[in-house]
Amino acid sequence: MIEVFSSIQGEGLMVGCRQIFVRMAGCNLACSYCDTPFAPTDSCRIEDAPGSGLFCGIPNPVPLDLLHDTLYRWLQAIPGVHHSISLTGGEPLLQAESLRQWLPSLSELLPVHLETNGTLARSLEPLLPFLDFISMDIKLCSMTGVATPWDDHRRFLKLARQKGCQVKAVVGEETPIEELEQAARLLHEVAPAVPLVLQPVTRDGGMAMSGRTLLDFQTRAARIHPLLRVIPQTHRFVGVL
């Protein structure tokens, strides 16, 4: 693990909800726009108190009983504040074996929200009973700099649609409309009840594309998959983790 902290969810349909974020190390992709550190570390930083911004270091691997007891104390200290636990990264499913041990215990504390790049279907399947919501990214080639893993996304989505789910696609001025339409078509074919969230890319602390382009994107994609929203990274504007 890299860090554990309490903050406001800034992306997708859960925007504005207070969550406990458990950030896992490692990622199987290398997206060009990613600004999140996910390299493994010798210690995990854990907030002293939820939302304090003050951290202490705990040697890795962090024991489950320590993590569970820490989150339990947070929930007792400020009851009713937290909506869910967000497993984020990096790519949390790279730690699937650890999650199989942790999730039965953690899911007793709060609902569990998985943030994932949507490529590791085999790792997802055994965890489904303990997950309440899945936020899956479609990694568009125009934004990541590598080929979009369409087949992996299709396999993953067939499993993810069994739970509460959203699909996010980071887009920018450089995104071809045909690529966006392909993402909308995939979603409409495989999981028509799952919302698609277009997330304008963030650069230098701000939204790096015009509102006009976003409106055009929404118009074209919604013709294929009407269940669609545009939501930027709001936590960047609020100034929280």
Structural contact between residues 115 and 49, judged by C-beta atoms closer than 8 angstroms: no
Q: How many CA atoms lie within 13 A of 236 on its CB side?
A: 16
- In the predicted model, what is the mean pLDDT of residues 188-217? 92
Instruction: Provide, rounded to the nearest whole percent, the portion of the chain with pLDDT above 70.
Output: 95
Q: What is the pLDDT of residue 28?
A: 83
Residue pLDDT, tens place only, 14-33: 999 999 999 999 988 877 66
Residue 37: its pLDDT value, please?
Answer: 67
pLDDT at 32: 66
Please compute the mean of the pLDDT values over residues 43-50 and round it to a whole number: 96
Summarised one tens digit per residue, pLDDT across range 179-199 is 999 999 999 999 999 999 999
Sheet holding 3-8, edge to edge: 55-59, 43-47, 3-8, 18-23, 84-88, 112-116, 133-137, 164-171, 196-200, 228-230
Q: Structurally, what CATH architecture does the domain formed by 3-238 represent?
A: Alpha-Beta Barrel (3.20)
With vertex at residue 196, the alpha carbon angle to CA 175 and CA 13, rounded to the nearest 5 degrees, is 120
Q: Are 10 and 233 in contact (CB under 8 A)?
A: yes
